[in-house]
């Protein structure tokens, strides 16, 4: 066929499409699923199914915020820092806190008041007071400070074990050092462990409530206006959004009580460095069990050393608690008493062994 006829044929097809002329049979595309009876599945009376129950309204945030804000304070600390040449200057660090009674005790984070030369607290009504440190605990990232003031409003503490993933929460604090603000979110995860500069925090609440610099030490509250957490850390990365953490109220309360009563927290100590055993780790290291806490280091003279624990032993029970992860072991140790004798079950090679350890107070350094 000559080029002229090909061109004419293509033009005829284009013209036929534009004016609706039918194409030859071999250019038509048939649909094997098309039915001549196009209305066989139609239902002119169809409507969306009605919900069996009315929709649940969103929680009413303003009453909760109004109730809690008078007990939330802005915390400003003065910290002396040195530059590369040894020259000193003063920096101001913003944080938050929450009154835990009417006597002036305020719960906050250890990292908010760490190395502070002076601490100032601003109340919701605008009053400003100097504050003294009552006690701090680096391991839990908790601290208690105190002001000398009257007519103080405090908020009751709730039971964080009653939280559910998806439950509404509010983070209230001195965000960006610009005054008390409130942000809403939900509980994303419970009982989370996060490593912060070499220190692992346990029993955390993960939330989508925006957490900004300055929020640290402020309360995370439920819709009853109860404190169910102390805002502590967030993950900051380009690909991460909406991941903040709070120390759960049930984890925080015993530490806060000890700080007020004694000025410090005494932690039972085993004296080992461990890793969590996973199925992948068990396969790669040819371990005989696929869960537990594997010992990576035993400190000389520690309770673990005295109990005969060795590197590569896998702790699977501590007292009456099954151990599947590092977090399980840490919780079991922290729930024990200093001077208590605890039975440890561990796996060495293919053998399961039992020993007894007497816990001592964790060294301060």
CB atoms within 10 A of CB 291: 18
CA distances from 271 to 201, 248, 308, 360 (A): 18, 26, 12, 9
111 plus 179 within the same structural domain: no
- What's the pTM? 0.74
Q: Which of 120, 71, 123, 55 is nearest to 94 (CA)?
A: 120
185 plus 214 within the same structural domain: yes
Q: pLDDT 10s digit of each residue in the chain, 365 long? A: 554 444 444 444 444 444 444 444 444 445 555 555 556 777 888 877 776 776 667 788 999 999 999 999 999 999 888 888 878 888 888 999 999 999 999 999 999 999 899 999 999 999 999 999 999 999 899 999 999 998 899 999 999 999 999 999 999 999 888 889 999 999 999 988 887 776 778 889 999 998 888 899 999 999 999 999 999 876 544 445 568 899 999 999 999 999 999 998 888 999 998 989 999 999 999 999 999 999 999 999 999 999 999 999 999 999 999 999 888 898 899 889 999 999 999 999 999 999 999 999 988 76
**Which of 122, 146, 170 marks a domain boundary?**
146
125 plus 185 within the same structural domain: no
CA distances from 6 to 3, 19, 26, 319 (A): 5, 20, 17, 90
Contact between 108 and 143 under an 8 Å Cβ cutoff? The reply is yes
128 plus 107 within the same structural domain: yes
137 plus 181 within the same structural domain: no
Distance CA 283, CA 279 (A): 6
Contact between 306 and 360 under an 8 Å Cβ cutoff? The reply is no
Beta-bridged to residue 76, according to DSSP, are 94, 120
What phi and psi, each to the nearest 5 degrees, are found at residue 180? -75, 125
Checking phi first, is residue 296 left (phi over 0); if not, alpha (psi -120 to 50) or beta? alpha
Residue 47 lies in a domain: no
325 plus 355 within the same structural domain: yes
The two tokens of residue 32 are 């094997």
The two tokens of residue 247 are 């120390």
Catalytically annotated residue among 216, 232, 248, 302: 216
85 plus 116 within the same structural domain: yes
Q: Quick one: how far is CA 254 from the chain centroid?
A: 19
Provide the pLDDT for residue 14.
46
DSSP, collapsed to helix, strand or coil, labels residue 206 as: strand
Could you list the residue range(s) of the whole structural domain that residue 186 is in?
160-255
What phi and psi, each to the nearest 5 degrees, are found at residue 259? -65, -40
Residue 167 lies in a domain: yes
141 catalytic residue (yes or no): yes
**Cα Rg, the chain, nearest whole Å:** 31
Query: In b/e form, how buried is each residue of 322-332, taking b as 16+ CB within 10 angstroms?
Result: ebbbbbbbbbb
User: Which helix (H) or strand (E) segment is 220 a member of?
Assistant: strand 219-221
Distance CA 159, CA 250 (A): 6
232 plus 296 within the same structural domain: no
Provide the pLDDT for residue 17.
46
Residue 24 lies in a domain: no
Catalytically annotated residue among 71, 74, 110, 141: 141
Q: Quick one: how far is CA 24 from the chain centroid?
A: 67
243 plus 278 within the same structural domain: no
Give me the number of domains the chain comprises: 3
CATH number at residue 282: 2.30.42.10
Residue keyed to tokens 């004296």: 271
Distance CA 312, CA 272 (A): 11
Residue 125 lies in a domain: yes
Residue 51 lies in a domain: no
CATH number at residue 228: 2.40.10.10
Provide the pLDDT for residue 346.
96
**Which of 120, 146, 172 marks a domain boundary?**
146
272 plus 333 within the same structural domain: yes
Residue 206 lies in a domain: yes
Residue 212 lies in a domain: yes
Catalytically annotated residue among 74, 110, 111, 258: 111
33 catalytic residue (yes or no): no
Q: Give the up-direction half-sphere exposure of residue 320: CA atoms within 13 A in the CB hemisphere.
A: 2
User: Which helix (H) or strand (E) segment is 276 a member of?
Assistant: strand 272-277
130 plus 172 within the same structural domain: no
111 catalytic residue (yes or no): yes
Residue 43 lies in a domain: no
246 plus 310 within the same structural domain: no
Provide the pLDDT for residue 212.
84
User: Which helix (H) or strand (E) segment is 247 a member of?
Assistant: strand 244-248
**Which of 146, 172, 187 marks a domain boundary?**
146
């Amino acid at each position: 066929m000559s080029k002229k006829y090909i061109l004419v044929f293509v033009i005829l097809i284009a013209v036929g499409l534009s004016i609706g002329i039918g194409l030859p049979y071999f250019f038509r595309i048939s649909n094997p699923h098309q039915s001549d009876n196009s209305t066989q599945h139609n239902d002119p009376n169809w409507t969306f199914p009605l919900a069996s129950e009315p929709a649940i309204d969103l929680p009413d945030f303003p009453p909760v915020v109004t109730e809690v804000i008078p007990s939330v304070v802005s915390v400003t600390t003065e910290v002396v820092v040195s530059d590369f040449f040894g020259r000193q200057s003063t920096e101001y660090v913003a944080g938050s806190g929450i009154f835990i009674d009417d006597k002036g005790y305020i719960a906050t984070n250890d990292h908010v008041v760490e190395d502070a030369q002076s601490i100032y607290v601003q109340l919701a009504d605008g009053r400003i007071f100097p504050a003294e440190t009552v006690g701090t605990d680096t391991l839990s990232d908790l601290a208690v400070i105190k002001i000398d003031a009257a007519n103080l409003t405090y908020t009751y503490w709730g039971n964080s074990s009653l939280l559910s993933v998806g439950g509404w929460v509010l983070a209230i604090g001195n965000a960006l050092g610009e005054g008390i603000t409130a942000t809403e979110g939900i509980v994303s995860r419970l009982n989370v462990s996060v490593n912060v500069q070499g220190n692992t925090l346990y029993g955390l609440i993960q939330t989508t409530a925006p957490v900004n610099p300055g929020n640290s030490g402020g309360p995370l509250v439920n819709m009853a206006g109860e404190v169910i957490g102390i805002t502590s850390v967030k993950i900051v990365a380009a690909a991460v959004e909406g991941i903040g953490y709070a120390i759960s109220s049930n984890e925080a309360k015993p530490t806060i009580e000890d700080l007020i009563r004694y000025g410090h927290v005494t932690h039972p100590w085993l004296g080992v460095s461990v890793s969590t055993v996973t199925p992948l780790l068990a396969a790669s290291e040819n371990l005989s069990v696929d869960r537990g806490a594997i010992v990576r280091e035993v400190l000389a003279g520690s309770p673990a050393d005295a109990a005969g624990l060795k590197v590569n032993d896998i702790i699977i029970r501590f007292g009456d608690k099954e151990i599947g992860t590092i977090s399980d072991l840490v919780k079991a140790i922290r729930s024990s008493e200093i001077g208590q004798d605890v039975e440890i079950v561990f796996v060495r090679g293919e053998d399961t062994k039992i020993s007894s350890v007497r816990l001592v107070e964790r060294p301060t350094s």
